[in-house]
Structure 1
Amino acid sequence: MPCYRLSKDLFSRLISCSIACLLSCGSLAAQTADRPAGPVPLRSVAEFALHYDARLENPFMEIEAGAVFSGPDGRASKVEGFYDGKGTWRFRFVPRIPGPWKAALRLIRGGETVASREESFLCSPGNNRGFLELSPTNRYRLQYEGGTPYYPVGIQTCGETEAGLDGPPRGEGKWRTVPMEKYLQAYEGAANLCRIQLGAGTRNGCAWEVITDPPGLYRYDLEICRRLDELYRLLSRHGFSTILIPFQDMSLWGTDSTAFGSTHDLEGWKNIHNSEAVRPVRHYLRYLVARYAAFTDIWELFNEDAFTPDEWLSAMAAYVDSLDPYGHLLTTNYERPLAAWCDLVTPHEYMWMPAREVDAHLAKEFARLKSFGKPVLYTEFGNQGGLTNRDPVKWRIAVWTAFMNESAILFWSMGGILVPEVENPKGGGNANAYLGPEARAYFRNFLSFVRDLPLDLRPVMVGYGERGDELRRYALSNGRLTLLYLQHFTGHESAAQGDVYVWTGPGSFEIEWYDPASGRVASTQKEKTEGNVLIFRSAPVTSDLAARIRREQ
């Protein structure tokens, strides 16, 4: 795949190509290409391949691979192919309308067609919910393509074929890893979003090193790429949506060397006007979009970048968007919420505070971050300093607090070792979030509670605590259904109660108290009001408690 863009003329030729064109390629033409074995379920990946066995100095550069997929509605989608080794170029496409589809595939070398074919396939109805998108109902929420609400709880595997899970306490054993399939099984129903970092000549953080030195620029590590293919397929089978980061950066924390240059290099690759330095960056992004757009939901351009100029980010976001046939959401970290191209606010947070203080801090931060009018999704969240990484109640309160503030959290979550609390930590301390069986059970309870909730639930007035009151209150409502979340902020050793004033509108209501720890209904009660505010006494709250308040007909 060269570093220039497919032209409109090339795509018009793709649509009109025929079997005769394929035969005319002579000895250079490919052998029969791969294709789906049967119908492709709706919103699933259809994969095709073309083969070309001529000797090439750099097949990533010398062949232009393009395809046009035409659907039953008559619309055409342009998709680029990618080199996958041994004379094979692959094309991935996600059909989003059931019915008969046609695909016109072509390889171009030096302006001449060297392999091509037309294919037909059937897209069958399926239950795949599709890619993530912004909700038109609530600007702070996400949904799947069909409109199904999506309330994320995220993790990061920090592994290619294995990941850390349920490791022993430090000093009592080694870091524990399990095969990725077993790891994702452990999180099934407990998380639904996974973040993947890529590195171009760096493995800092948890980066997959897609570009290595040697062989250097314009070439990609196909073994790593195929492992990532398999991870994506596993994630899809286990119900995960995904974030892909092209550039592991961390330039706020020091200078790192990448295949493109230093992370602080504002004259070279991070200067959008330096066309020579930017050219391999564009080629890299083009390869990633061709290979992974069919699997990815969100492009997060950088991880912890503090040096890249706004105009560079704007230009590269536009470039990715121009290549992406699905129009995936775009963001970066550190967050650039004022940028017009940026769809999500994606901060990081590492906290040095006990569980009972987390909700107040997060509520304040969510209020600030939501002021930009975009969804807020922490793409890293963990501890700081000497705190233990095992704090399932803190993680539970954080997830519930985020949801009640129309936001979400993805954890920096490597569970290979359990780190005890340290009184006087040296250095940066422990940033990890150990999401063991208890935390995962809490997350399953949360996702079960929110799974079918409508997107039009918005924050409403909730108060008042009398002097000496020990509960913080959060509420969402759409007038028909109201949700309440209470946190006992003075301590979790004994129960507290308080009066609740929540804006519901007049009517009769059934209150169902839900225990986030056990996932069970704790109690129910009935209340009514002739005014707009429903006033009632809470059930006892030890750590936290939620409630569904349903209007009775």
Structure 2
Amino acid sequence: MVGQTFLSAAAIHAAHRVERGGRLKDLPQCDGRRLCSPQPLATLSEHLRMTAAIFQAIVILVILVPATLTRAAVVVTPPADAIEQFAPADFPVRVDRAYDNPFDPDEIAIDAEFVSPDNRRMSVPGFWWAPPTGQPGEPGFRVRFAPPAAGKWTMTVTARDRGGERRSEPVSLEVKPGASRGFVRRSPDSRQYFQRDDGSAYFPIGLNIAWVEGSAADAYAGWFEKLSRAGGNFARVWMCHGGVYIEHGKSGLGRIDPDHAAYVERVLELARKHDIGVMLCFINHREFLDRDMWGEADWPRHVYNAANGGPATRPVDFFTGDASRKLFKRRLRYIVARYSAYTSAAFWELINEQEHIPVAVPDEWNCEMAGYLKQVDPMRRPVTTSASCPPGTWRCDHIDLTQSHLYGDGEVADGVTPILNAIAAHRVFGKPHLIAEYGISFKGPDAPFDPRKIGTALHNSLWAAACGGAAGTAAHWWWDNYIDPQNQWHHYIPISKFAAAIDWPRRNFQPISIPPPQIRDLRHETFTDLSIDCTGGFARSHGELVTVAPNGAVNRSIPRFHFGPTKPDMQTRARIAIDMPADGEMVLRIGDVSDYSLLRVWVDDKPTADFLASALPGSADVEKTQFMEHLNRIYQARINKDRRVPLSKGRRTIEIANLAGDWVTIESITFTNARSSRYDNLAAVATRDEPTGETLAWLYDVTSNWKSDRDGEQPREHRDISLKLPARADSPMVAEWWDTWRGVLIHTETVHARGGMVDLSPPPFTRDIAVRLRP
């Protein structure tokens, strides 16, 4: 015997296979990382023959094995069913290794590249899928994609881990045309509206349906069906409610809960079935609070909290710490991978009401995360956040739309002015704006304020936003304890019919100032008190001059909260201008006071009155007081009293400021003997597209509100009204009059301009009416 040679398992098995036909197959038992049992070679001839075979095998191993093993290591299974344009298709991906945390892209990242029929390349992240509890299915990686074009596509999947990169064999896909209109986009022809991929308008009409108690996603089937039947197409949904966090303490840091992830998936599937576009919100401000007005909040249980093994010692660390930012991006990647193929996922929303987080959310964080979403989302859908955000966030190029969340406190009857003010305040950013939350009171649902179930506040919010320049209707908040149980869905039918006729993506409707609507041929003019609700929220006021028109309309809201020196960053003066037709008074309705305050009033630059209020028990005019243990240990009190300032006839300029203490509210301001009967309690909201001359106007009775309904006041009929709108003199225009409660086009007429205006005569109406003036 010449001796013994010990060879690796791979070489020996390869040699035998070469002898048997030159094909490499799966290796048995020995895996190439260790030696098999010694293999003695008996004779010289056997030795030489085996040596030659081994040499040939080595050549094959060097040349062929890497490619062969790479192809075998990442295997893609195309869907069994036909793939449809804009429809989500799942591609299971099998890799040849197991991983400790398949949700960590630093450990294993699955990415697919899709090449379209016209050779465009789209990158799509993959995700780890596991069946929900009690349901069948094999865990594994998946790629989910909705091809935006019909025709022949190819895809290749890449797996990257610490051992390197491996690619699948290219897979050919045949995509058939589909019925979907595609994903929601910002219109390239309008700075304030949206469209679908096919160019059709997407004007959001809907409400918040943020969660369902008990996390039973199928409840959305009924809600979405009712909304869709009423012509609605938008819902704001949270994945940041207690029962649906996809990453939480029980799932583990950096790991996804399969049940909660499936919940979100089911909601998007149901929305897609009913053609509803969802704004999917990722984070709620309560995640960073210990307690708030609703009770115990979520920071003590937060998965990123260092007390629970996370990287954030304090809430601020979530936004500033490198580890937290990296972990959150990992979550965003998973969200995009799993949900971006749904056309029903219309918008990504980073945070709900970041202003309530106990630390300032950096503009850089918002912009960084929005930019990362644009980087990993193959569909580049619009991104937003909410709600009272600093200008730096709204100016970020990766933020596509701005938001307002508007609530009264159960005392304000005027819900229209805050909507118009919010739209006006956000015009400077040149982006679409949505009133993404709305309600009579932030304290609870609208139902107690609307015992007759008329829904006037809801109705007015829809029309004011649509005709006032917003990108969609106002989105009501109280879905499961007002809209649905009171069956208020019918209010969406009229506005959806009105909106369907308008080419929103090719229009830039801008608010316009028009003369107050008034009665024609009034025989005798009389004057009554003119009352204005103060509607500004708990924030620094705009500080601009508020002009009061003879019909009571204002160009900006009068602030409700007047802050003192304890809040210097929020302290401003309210400035009001009014023409008093006769001597009278200005009556300030003082609402609540925090600690104490001193309101000073100037009339025509002269100090005229001081009004002191204190929240201490036993103070004058206090109805009730409460000690605020969690707010610097101060008292807050209900005052609910009037304070009067004399005003003489003529043009008056008034300033109001709080010179002491914390804050005080003025709920309303009444100017006695200042409203002319000529204007019949009417006001109008109007916007115009300058290039086409198309104008939308909503004419409404200012007394048609929830308070009047609650108090049993019957709406009056309005007739013989003059409404003047700007129009071109060189061509006739068509005026289409709409019944806003029935959704019916009731009258169409051709009109001509005189002096750059058309003088319209609306058909007799109660409450309100809308007109579309078009070429």
Report the TM-score when normalising by structure 2: 0.59
Identify the match of residue 79 of structure 1 among 124, 127, 141. Answer: 124
The residue type equivalent to 1:120 in the other structure is: S
Matched, 1:529 2:581: no
The SS at the match of 1:371 is helix
CA 1:437/1:238 → structure 2, altered by over 3 Å: closer, same or farther?
farther
CA 1:376/1:543 → structure 2, altered by over 3 Å: closer, same or farther?
same
The residue type equivalent to 2:90 in the other structure is: E
> 1:476 — aligned with what?
687
C-alpha distance in 1, partners of 2:702/2:474? 23
> 1:126 — aligned with what?
178
Matched, 1:338 2:392: yes
Matched, 1:403 2:466: yes
Matched, 1:518 2:735: no
Task: State the Cα distance separating 1:84 from its structure 2 match.
Answer: 0.2
Matched, 1:246 2:282: yes
Task: State the Cα distance separating 1:298 from its structure 2 match.
Answer: 1.5
Matched, 1:235 2:271: yes
Which stretch of the first structure deviates more once superposed, 472-481 or 495-504? 472-481
> 1:12 — aligned with what?
none
Task: State the Cα distance separating 1:124 from its structure 2 match.
Answer: 2.3
> Do 2:404 and 2:422's aligned partners in 1 also have CA atoms closer than 8 Å?
no
Which stretch of the first structure deviates more once superposed, 281-290 or 473-482? 473-482
C-alpha distance in 1, partners of 2:697/2:90? 46
> 1:314 — aligned with what?
367
- 1:66-145 mapped onto 2 (5 Å cutoff): 66-85=111-130, 86-112=138-164, 116-145=168-197
Task: State the Cα distance separating 1:400 from its structure 2 match.
Answer: 0.9
> Do 1:331 and 1:342's aligned partners in 2 also have CA atoms closer than 8 Å?
yes
Identify the match of residue 503 of structure 2 among 454, 457, 463. Answer: 454
Deviations 1:134-176 (A, max 9, x none): 2232212122222212211232334469899xxxxxxxxxxxx
Matched, 1:45 2:108: no
Which stretch of the first structure deviates more once superposed, 93-102 or 507-516? 507-516
> Do 2:738 and 2:745's aligned partners in 1 also have CA atoms closer than 8 Å?
yes
Task: State the Cα distance separating 1:488 from its structure 2 match.
Answer: 0.8
Task: State the Cα distance separating 1:180 from its structure 2 match.
Answer: 2.6
C-alpha distance in 1, partners of 2:743/2:285? 40
- 1:68-467 mapped onto 2 (5 Å cutoff): 68-85=113-130, 86-112=138-164, 116-159=168-211, 179-190=219-230, 191-199=232-240, 203-204=241-242, 208-250=244-286, 251=288, 254=292, 256-257=298-299, 258-261=302-305, 265=314, 267-271=316-320, 274-295=321-342, 296-306=345-355, 307=359, 308-334=361-387, 335-339=389-393, 340=396, 341-352=398-409, 357-384=414-441, 385=443, 388-389=446-447, 390=450, 392-407=455-470, 408-409=472-473, 411-417=475-481, 433-435=482-484, 439-455=488-504, 456=507, 458-459=509-510, 460-466=512-518, 467=676
C-alpha distance in 1, partners of 2:276/2:375? 25
> Do 2:439 and 2:476's aligned partners in 1 also have CA atoms closer than 8 Å?
yes
The SS at the match of 2:421 is helix
Task: State the Cα distance separating 1:494 from its structure 2 match.
Answer: 1.0
Task: State the Cα distance separating 1:537 from its structure 2 match.
Answer: 2.4
Task: State the Cα distance separating 1:388 from its structure 2 match.
Answer: 3.4
The SS at the match of 1:79 is strand
C-alpha distance in 2, partners of 1:60/1:230? 20
- 1:47-62 mapped onto 2 (5 Å cutoff): 47-52=90-95, 54-61=97-104, 62=107
The residue type equivalent to 1:411 in the other structure is: A
Superposition RMSD in Å:
3.1
CA 1:525/1:79 → structure 2, altered by over 3 Å: closer, same or farther?
closer
Matched, 1:545 2:769: yes
The residue type equivalent to 2:84 in the other structure is: V
Matched, 1:493 2:704: no
Deviations 1:161-220 (A, max 9, x none): 9899xxxxxxxxxxxx97332221111143211222223xxx35xx62111212411110
Task: State the Cα distance separating 1:528 from its structure 2 match.
Answer: 2.7
The SS at the match of 1:347 is strand
C-alpha distance in 2, partners of 1:358/1:411? 13
The SS at the match of 1:235 is helix
Larger radius of gyration: 2
The residue type equivalent to 1:370 in the other structure is: R
The residue type equivalent to 1:184 in the other structure is: F
CA 1:77/1:376 → structure 2, altered by over 3 Å: closer, same or farther?
same
The residue type equivalent to 2:181 in the other structure is: R
> Do 1:356 and 1:487's aligned partners in 2 also have CA atoms closer than 8 Å?
no
CA 1:215/1:134 → structure 2, altered by over 3 Å: closer, same or farther?
closer
The SS at the match of 1:297 is strand
CA 1:227/1:22 → structure 2, altered by over 3 Å: closer, same or farther?
farther
C-alpha distance in 2, partners of 1:292/1:144? 18
The residue type equivalent to 1:346 in the other structure is: Q
Identify the match of residue 65 of structure 1 among 86, 105, 110. Answer: 110
> 2:598 — aligned with what?
none
Task: State the Cα distance separating 1:438 from its structure 2 match.
Answer: 5.4
C-alpha distance in 1, partners of 2:758/2:364? 50
> Do 1:51 and 1:87's aligned partners in 2 also have CA atoms closer than 8 Å?
no
Task: State the Cα distance separating 1:439 from its structure 2 match.
Answer: 3.0
**Which ranges of structure 1 fall in alignment gaps of 5 or more residues?**
1-18, 165-176, 418-432
CA 1:178/1:275 → structure 2, altered by over 3 Å: closer, same or farther?
closer
Which stretch of the first structure deviates more once superposed, 251-260 or 220-229? 251-260
The residue type equivalent to 2:739 in the other structure is: D
The SS at the match of 1:311 is helix
Task: State the Cα distance separating 1:397 from its structure 2 match.
Answer: 1.2
The SS at the match of 1:529 is coil
The residue type equivalent to 1:323 in the other structure is: V
User: Which structure carries more relative contact order (alpha carbon 8 Å, separation 6+)?
Assistant: 1
Deviations 1:470-499 (A, max 9, x none): 211123344464332111113461112421
> Do 1:486 and 1:541's aligned partners in 2 also have CA atoms closer than 8 Å?
no
CA 1:195/1:388 → structure 2, altered by over 3 Å: closer, same or farther?
closer
Task: State the Cα distance separating 1:387 from its structure 2 match.
Answer: 7.0
> 1:167 — aligned with what?
none
C-alpha distance in 2, partners of 1:346/1:156? 13
CA 1:31/1:310 → structure 2, altered by over 3 Å: closer, same or farther?
closer
Task: State the Cα distance separating 1:329 from its structure 2 match.
Answer: 1.4
Task: State the Cα distance separating 1:356 from its structure 2 match.
Answer: 6.5
CA 1:328/1:218 → structure 2, altered by over 3 Å: closer, same or farther?
same
C-alpha distance in 1, partners of 2:317/2:215? 36
> Do 2:83 and 2:89's aligned partners in 1 also have CA atoms closer than 8 Å?
no
Report the TM-score when normalising by structure 1: 0.81
> 1:503 — aligned with what?
726
> Do 2:700 and 2:769's aligned partners in 1 also have CA atoms closer than 8 Å?
yes
Deviations 1:229-280 (A, max 9, x none): 1211110111111212222224588563121138993552221xx3233332
The number of equivalent residue pairs is 497
CA 1:162/1:397 → structure 2, altered by over 3 Å: closer, same or farther?
farther
The residue type equivalent to 1:388 in the other structure is: D
C-alpha distance in 1, partners of 2:203/2:772? 17
C-alpha distance in 1, partners of 2:161/2:733? 70
